């Protein structure tokens, strides 16, 4: 194969890699003090060509005895609870269950999440008092209309499908959205060195594949692809000059 054709193929492969950089299911804000009442935005991207997200199943960590959810057009919600081994007292009441799962199902016609799109599912929660100093994982399974599923359940932030998470800090701290890994911050990570992007802006950036890691991957692929394309054009021009001289 001629050098010019090889260079063009390399460029095309690099550009394709940039286009296929995946967005992650993520939660914003992602750094919250223990005991705080806040609204979490679960950001769910669509990443299957020719298919749409049909169901979103989120497994909650322990300690969430009450979760309010927004009415998202086009989606129905089912709450699954689990019994507590020991009931807890809240506001003078004895509570014997906590939220185990929330399952969103697309009913249409609004709110359809297709390839290259995303949706936000707001949740009003109280962060458990005893969760300070550790990340809380919200393991999520996306089911698509073509029967395929994406399992965002891996505890490692470096995994291909890491579970979305929040980092719980000490009581009285600030609610922040820490830039970095798309799935969420590592335990103890703060926003001291991050730009002050709003949670909504961060949500959109993350859902569209705009997290730092995905941006870096896409940018690097574009640069490599551009350089390879220039090499290919140069090689093709040189070949044509040689053929003209022959």
**Tens of pLDDT, residues 157-203:** 899 999 999 999 999 999 999 987 788 887 777 665 433 343 343 43
Q: How far apart are CA 200 and CA 192, in angstroms?
A: 19
Mean confidence (pLDDT) of the chain: 78
- Which is more confident, 232 or 75? 75
Pairing label, strands 118-126, 93-106:
unpaired
- Which is more confident, 236 or 143? 143
Residue 161 burial (C-beta neighbours within 10 Å; 0-12, 13-18, 19+) = middle
Phi, psi (rounded to 5 degrees) for 186: -75, 160
The answer to whether the predicted template modeling score (pTM) of the entire model surpasses 0.85 is no
Conformational region of residue 109, where left means phi above 0, alpha means psi within -120 to 50, and beta covers everything else = alpha
Query: Is 222 in contact with 12 (CB distance < 8 Å)?
Result: no
Among the listed residues 47, 32, 83, 79, the one whose alpha carbon sits nearest the alpha carbon of residue 187:
32
Q: How far apart are CA 124 and CA 105, in angstroms?
A: 19
Q: Span 48-60, mean pLDDT? A: 97
Query: Is 58 in contact with 139 (CB distance < 8 Å)?
Result: yes
- Which is more confident, 229 or 71? 71
Among the listed residues 163, 169, 160, 195, the one whose alpha carbon sits nearest the alpha carbon of residue 180:
195
Pairing label, strands 37-45, 75-90:
unpaired
pLDDT at 90: 81
Among the listed residues 43, 165, 153, the one whose alpha carbon sits nearest the alpha carbon of residue 104:
43
CA distances, 90 to each of 60, 95, 212 (Å): 19, 7, 40
Burial 117-153 (b: 16+ CB within 10 A, else e): bbbbbebebbbbeebbeebbbbbbbbbbeeeeebebb
Determine the distance from the C-alpha atom of residue 27 to the mean position of all C-alpha atoms in its chain, rounded to a whole number.
Answer: 7
> Percent of the chain scored above 70 by pLDDT?
68
Among the listed residues 46, 48, 64, the one whose alpha carbon sits nearest the alpha carbon of residue 56:
46
């Amino acid at each position: 194969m001629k050098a010019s054709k090889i260079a063009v193929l390399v460029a095309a492969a690099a550009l394709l890699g940039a286009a296929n950089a995946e967005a992650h299911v993520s939660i914003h804000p992602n750094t919250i003090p223990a005991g705080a009442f806040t609204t979490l935005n679960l950001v769910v991207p669509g990443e299957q060509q020719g298919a749409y997200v049909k169901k979103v199943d989120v497994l909650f960590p322990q300690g969430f005895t009450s979760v309010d959810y927004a009415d998202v057009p086009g989606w129905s919600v089912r709450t699954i609870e689990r019994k507590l081994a020991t009931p807890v007292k809240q506001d003078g009441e004895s509570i014997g269950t906590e939220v185990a799962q929330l399952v969103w199902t697309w009913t249409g016609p609004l709110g359809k999440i297709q390839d290259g799109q995303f949706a936000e599912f707001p949740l009003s929660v109280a962060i458990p008092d005893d969760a300070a100093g550790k990340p809380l994982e919200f393991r999520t399974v996306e089911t698509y209309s073509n029967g395929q599923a994406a399992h965002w359940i891996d505890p490692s932030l470096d995994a291909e499908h890491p579970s979305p998470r929040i980092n719980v800090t000490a009581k009285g701290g600030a609610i922040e959205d820490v830039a970095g890994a798309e799935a969420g911050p590592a335990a103890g990570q703060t926003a001291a060195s991050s730009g002050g992007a709003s949670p909504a802006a961060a949500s959109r950036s993350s859902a569209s594949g705009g997290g730092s890691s995905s941006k870096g991957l896409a940018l690097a692929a574009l640069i490599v692809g551009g350089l390879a394309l220039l090499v290919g054009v140069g090689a093709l021009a040189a070949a044509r000059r040689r053929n003209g001289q022959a």
